[in-house]
Amino acid sequence: MELAHLTTLDFDAAMIARHDGSGPRYTSYPTADRFQSGSVSTHYIEALRERDAGHADAPLSLYVHIPFCDTVCYYCACNKIVTKHKFKADPYLDDLEKEIGLIRKLFHEAPVVSQLHFGGGTPTFLTNMQMERLLKMLHANFRFADDAECSVEIDPRRLEPGVLKLMADYGFNRMSLGVQDVDEAVQKAINRVQPVAVTGQVLDEARSLGYKSINMDLIYGLPLQSVNTMYRTLKTVLAWRPDRIALYSYAHLPDRFKPQRRIDNDAIPSPQEKLAMLKLAVTTLLDAGYVYIGMDHFALPDDELAQSMDEGTLQRNFQGYSTRADCDLIALGVSAISRIGHVYAQNARTLEEYHEMLEREELPLIRGLVMNRDDEIRRDAIHSLLCQSKLSFTDMGQTWGIDAQEYFVEDLDALRGLQSDGLVEIDDQQVTITPKGRFLSRVVAMRFDKYLRMGQPMARYSKVI
């Protein structure tokens, strides 16, 4: 497999510092802060019925949000409910069953699922009995392709014996392990003490059960982190040789996320130290043979994520980079966001509202967006830049029936400063993100975000680096 055209990376710390700022992650476009309340349920139901009538065989992803955690990690910005009482998940599973039933009624035949992802919260908060109940629900209402990619987010500290085997028996073949940092002082500062031996045991069991494409999450910029702690973490993680590594930047937003208020501001690394940690991590991972996928993701060359990038099928969705060609997503559970065709739809954000709407036998949707043609064109352009590091004018023209250079004339003009800094190249054929610009791909993508250019109010985004 030839990946050279995508793997070259030039880490220019000065240029990254110059262009670092806040911006969307573009797991969707338009971004979720553009969603509006209103008649989203009607549009979503219409989109599902349209899919059933004319595109029933198109690829379909499922996402299930399990919001419970039995402890709070101070850095976390996820939608979660902290409790040690497992029985609190039972009424939530009742509601999930109702939501799944309402969705299933909209299809003549059980839809075929090519991807399934359990996220949270902590999906393995559930007992084995609760987990099996959820799995049986899904298999009773959906058909799963023989090669379906089924993945789960794992907190190695929170696993009942036998749960990995149970999930493997139901087709789960991928997982993401939260590691963050192996230094005990850092772990205490973020309230996530996780012995290295515990993580290693879970990894060994998963591999013995046939899980593949195992990802490990790391975070840089946490309190008490340094270049030295990052080095020790990388050394430990590389000894495990995970198939994928996600290297996230910690976004300290205590005004927005209450748990972060427990973090000592004085313990947070300086921007210069944080950038030095990132440089060390990138250099170390590349030297160890990992391929830079984009933004914060790395993978071994023979992993499906790297292969899909090479084959042009890499996509972005609400779970980040994904391996299958662009497909519809049905998202289940509190706060989950679906996309069917040109419709985005988000569920209620609180358990109370989620439950009340399902009690009325309503889909628990509170807001969303119906993409117009310009939204869809720009979504395609942004995802091409983030997944392939280029935007082909010819491809866009053939796909959308436009003169791409004319259509994006304002956007291309906005790129001139980045072009002068050597972050992008622009010619008559395409826009190409250079090796120097790949770590700033979000900055490039923002130039094609019409809502940002129009100056519309937006959420407080995380820092790009």
Q: 49-57 long-range CB contacts below 8 Å, 24 or more apart?
A: 49/106, 50/341, 51/328, 51/340, 51/341, 52/106, 52/107, 52/108, 52/111, 56/107, 56/108, 56/109, 56/111, 57/112
The pLDDT score that the predictor gives to residue 378 is: 97
The pLDDT score that the predictor gives to residue 4 is: 46
pLDDT digits (tens, 9 = 90+) for 393-415: 999 999 999 999 999 999 999 99
Query: Out of 12-21, 288-297, 377-386, 416-425, which region has the weakest mean confidence (pLDDT)?
Result: 12-21
The single-letter code of the amino acid at 336 is A
Peptide bond into 24 cis (omega under 30): no
What value does the mean pLDDT take over residues 193-221?
95
Q: Where exactly are the structural domains of the chain? A: 1-30+372-465, 34-331
The pLDDT score that the predictor gives to residue 462 is: 65
The string of DSSP codes covering 29-72 is SS-GGG-EESSHHHHHHHHHHHHHHH-TTS-EEEEEEE-EESS-
| pLDDT at position 292 over 90 | yes
What value does the mean pLDDT take over residues 271-289?
93
| pLDDT at position 5 over 60 | no
The pLDDT score that the predictor gives to residue 457 is: 53
- CATH fold of 1-30+372-465 reads Arc Repressor Mutant, subunit A (1.10.10)
What value does the mean pLDDT take over residues 457-462?
60
What value does the mean pLDDT take over residues 89-116?
96
Confidence of residue 274 (pLDDT cuts 50, 70, 90): very high
The pLDDT score that the predictor gives to residue 2 is: 47
The pLDDT score that the predictor gives to residue 407 is: 97
pLDDT digits (tens, 9 = 90+) for 131-148: 999 999 999 999 999 999
**Number of neighbours of residue 228 by Cβ within 10 angstroms:** 11
More confident residue, 286 or 460: 286
What value does the mean pLDDT take over residues 261-282?
92
- The full length of the chain comes to 465
Indicate the average pLDDT of the chain: 91
The single-letter code of the amino acid at 375 is D
User: pTM value?
Assistant: 0.92
| pLDDT at position 312 over 90 | no
| pLDDT at position 1 over 50 | no
The pLDDT score that the predictor gives to residue 257 is: 82
The pLDDT score that the predictor gives to residue 9 is: 78
Q: Cβ distance 379 to 371 under 8 Å?
A: yes
| pLDDT at position 251 over 90 | no
More confident residue, 322 or 225: 225
Query: What gap in Å lies between CA 381 and CA 378, rounded to an integer?
Result: 5
Helix (H, G, I), strand (E, B) or coil at 232: helix
What value does the mean pLDDT take over residues 348-361?
96
What value does the mean pLDDT take over residues 23-35?
88
pLDDT digits (tens, 9 = 90+) for 121-132: 899 999 999 999
Class of 34-331 per CATH? Answer: alpha beta
Strand 60-66 versus strand 112-120 pairing type:
parallel
Q: Which residues pair with 154 in a beta bridge?
A: 177
